[in-house]
Structure 1
Amino acid sequence: MSAADRLYNKKWGVFTHYLNGIQNNPSNPLNQEAGRTSWNECVNAFDVGKLADSLRQCGAGFYFITVMQGGETMIAPNSAFDEIAGTKPGEACAERDLVADLYDALTPLGIDLYLYYTGDGPYAHPEIGRRFGFTEPRGRGVTRDFVEKWAAVLEEYAVRYRDRVKGWWIDGCYRDFFKYTDELLEPYYAACKKGNPDALVAMNNGVFPDYRKNYAKEDFVCGEFNDLSVIPKSRYVDGAQAFLLAPLGETWSRLGSRYSGRYLRHFTACVNEAGGAAAYDCALFRDGTVDTEQIAALSEIRGD
């Protein structure tokens, strides 16, 4: 079975953000009144057993989680990052390897693990972003030097996890805004494939009204949408597996579901019948539990 077949046969899964600005933010309900702690403490608070139980309850076939987004904090150690950023283990990259722990918790349940990465690095941290070579204003575009540094961080993760990670959804690979080209995206693709030649790779060029391929070698399309309304026209988009990612809440990482379980069941069936797979963004609490309202709605997809 090919990696694309594997994703397609899993039908649908859950996507979550786990970030310093969300789960470690006292003003966010997903913080669970834990207050602001070190990033290490926040990552240590993630109970992978609770996450696995939430996914088991709803019947998800796969799971995506953010490795990082915009800032300097990462959910697992990375020596390449520390060397470039000038940080010590635990200061930016968590000392705990949350990715490895997630794999161990999800694999016995038959749930595949995928990771979210970005194409703009730690731009939001002025000093670390400068050391990597990409800061605001991001519209100036990325450079080859930045891409090679940021790809080195990705490669370390990819080589460490190998086939434990089934694929990578790489955000912020914008052609207009960040001036990405196929040549500048190639190092990310090569990094992912070095760790696992069968890993699926998608690179996001933003939200569009249809399913689009962004990079010539993409294995699946990012398919970012703001709602659940667009069905793929076929299984493949210029040779890449059709895939959808959209939030259940009013926007990304929000509590509650805009959609009934009945609608989710119908929509997912339509996507699958057309040849696509779907990931639904859910609200993830600091301790690793997923919003119960969203889990209840997703549970109806199976029609038990």
Structure 2
Amino acid sequence: MSGNARWMKEAKHFGVMVHYLSHTQPRSGEHEQDFNRMIDKFDMETFMEQFNHIGANWIIFTLGQNTGYYCSYNKYLESLAPGCCSRRDLALELAVRVKESGNKFIAYLPTEVDANVEKMREAFGWDLHPTDKSEFMKKYMLFVKEYSDKFGRLADGWWFDGCYNASEKSFLRTREWDNTRFERDLWFAAVRSGNPEAAISMCPGANSMNYVFDIEDFLAGEVDFGTYPPYELPAGMQPHVLFWLDCSWGHWDAPGEIVPPKVSEDELYEYIVACKLRGAAVTINIGIYEDGSMAEKSVEMLHRVSKRLDERK
């Protein structure tokens, strides 16, 4: 197995993921429309208190997705599309805190901007050609490299979304492009520019145990709860599953309480143990509010599951 993701298999517990984006909703009141004010109000102390209480061994955190906004400064992106990055470098601040807690930080980015705002598509040249994405990829690799260099060894891994063959995905805006847009060696060099030991995973879509390149360090594994990774993967690739526990990936529809976990504590514990017996790592996506606090019922359930894993022989 690649040493870059060995820590995932060796971890006692599991990882968590949160989708914190510009349209993340509050528990009550009106959603903050100004992205910088929203980011400024993120309560890092509460977030870290909950993260440590859970007992998670790593976190996957979104730098940005399809809203035109990113919660970490990127000099190259700002040269293309000024005003897209928050004043507060939230993701970098979080990476520092997670590493100080003795845990791992994995950065999340998409690999396409098909559903992003027009400003972002224009900046990266996404719509220049329906199938030839070479200009986009040239710019996007500079964008990714800028983040990689800035995070350096604070980023233990990268989970890349949107590695699609677009004709297979009915929800996309355009349908002609596919994964031939990647120049594998140049892409991996850009991602690992800041940390040669960073673990890389590339997700070709939900409910799929596929991968894009056989040299990825861990399987993206975006699945429904209860699905197991295959026993046979390319040599060195860490089996891994990622699923949502409460709200479907993010708390985005309207202000209010995040729904409770969709499975029982026993079901969750037994699934994690079964994955571990297969040598697979587990990441659990839980809901997060606009102020940076996570869904309490999910936090408490995961805390109890961590305690049970500690007691397991």
CA shift for structure 1 position 79: 1.1
Equivalent residues in 2 for 1:5-84, closer than 5 Å: 5-10=6-11, 11-22=13-24, 28=25, 30=26, 32-84=28-80
**Does the C-alpha gap of structure 1 residues 216 and 235 become closer, same or farther in structure 2, counting only changes over 3 Å?**
closer
Q: How many residues in Structure 1 have an aligned counterpart in Structure 2?
A: 290
Match of 1:25 in 2: none
- In 2: Cα distance, 1:110 partner to 1:228 partner: 28
Match of 2:298 in 1: 294
- In 2: Cα distance, 1:16 partner to 1:147 partner: 26
Match of 2:217 in 1: 219
Is 1:3 aligned to residue 1 of structure 2? no
Find 1:102's aligned residue among 94, 98, 105. Answer: 94
Q: Tell me, yes or no, if the aligned pair for 1:235 and 1:274 is still in contact at 8 Å.
A: no
Equivalent residues in 2 for 1:158-173, closer than 5 Å: 158-173=148-163
Stretches of 4+ aligned residues off by more than 4 angstroms: 235-238
TM-score (norm 1): 0.88
Match of 2:147 in 1: 157
CA shift for structure 1 position 122: 7.2
- Post-superposition Cα deviations, 1:219-251, rounded to whole Å, max 9, x if no partner, equal 1111011x2111224385453111111100252
CA shift for structure 1 position 286: 1.6
TM-score (norm 2): 0.85
- In 2: Cα distance, 1:122 partner to 1:183 partner: 15
Matched position secondary structure for 2:271: helix
Q: Tell me, yes or no, if the aligned pair for 2:44 and 2:292 is still in contact at 8 Å.
A: yes
AA aligned opposite 2:48:
A
Higher mean C-alpha deviation, range 32-41 or range 62-71:
32-41
AA aligned opposite 1:96:
R
Which structure 1 segments of 5+ residues have no match? 23-27
Equivalent residues in 2 for 1:100-179, closer than 5 Å: 100-121=92-113, 123-135=115-127, 140-141=130-131, 143-177=133-167, 178-179=177-178
**Does the C-alpha gap of structure 1 residues 106 and 273 become closer, same or farther in structure 2, counting only changes over 3 Å?**
same
- Post-superposition Cα deviations, 1:112-146, rounded to whole Å, max 9, x if no partner, equal 1111100113752113312211259x9x3460110
Structure showing greater relative contact order (alpha-carbon pairs closer than 8 Å, 6 or more residues apart): 2
Which structure 2 segments of 5+ residues have no match? 168-176, 252-257
Q: Tell me, yes or no, if the aligned pair for 1:172 and 1:205 is still in contact at 8 Å.
A: yes
Matched position secondary structure for 2:179: coil
- In 1: Cα distance, 2:232 partner to 2:238 partner: 6
AA aligned opposite 2:6:
D
Match of 2:201 in 1: 202
Q: Percent identity?
A: 22
Match of 2:255 in 1: none
Q: Tell me, yes or no, if the aligned pair for 1:124 and 1:135 is still in contact at 8 Å.
A: no
Is 1:271 aligned to residue 269 of structure 2? no
AA aligned opposite 1:21:
H
Equivalent residues in 2 for 1:79-90, closer than 5 Å: 79-85=75-81, 87=82
Matched position secondary structure for 1:241: coil
Match of 1:181 in 2: 180
